[in-house]
Amino acid sequence: MAVKSIAEHVIEIPDADEIIVPILATIPFQLISYYIAVMRGCNVDQPRNLAKSVTVE
């Protein structure tokens, strides 16, 4: 794979049906978001504006 030769880090997801690939790709994206938030010092248990986005109709 050409990406492995030029990238420092590669996250691979298993081969699957075209319909299931977005679900499998979501898991690594969520983990990346979590670790970036932790490195930035953000409170991952209480994100800002969560109540506003959940309760506003």
Contact (Cβ atoms closer than 8 angstroms) between residue 18 and residue 29: no
Q: Is 70 exceeded by the pLDDT of residue 57?
A: no
The reported pTM is 0.61
Domain ranges of the chain: 9-55
**Tens-digit pLDDT profile for residues 45-55:** 776 666 665 66
SS3 57: coil
**Tens-digit pLDDT profile for residues 8-41:** 988 888 899 999 999 999 999 999 999 998 999 9
Distances (CA, A) of 6 to 1, 2, 23, 28, 32: 10, 7, 26, 20, 20
Q: Compare 20 and 1 and report the one with higher pLDDT.
A: 20
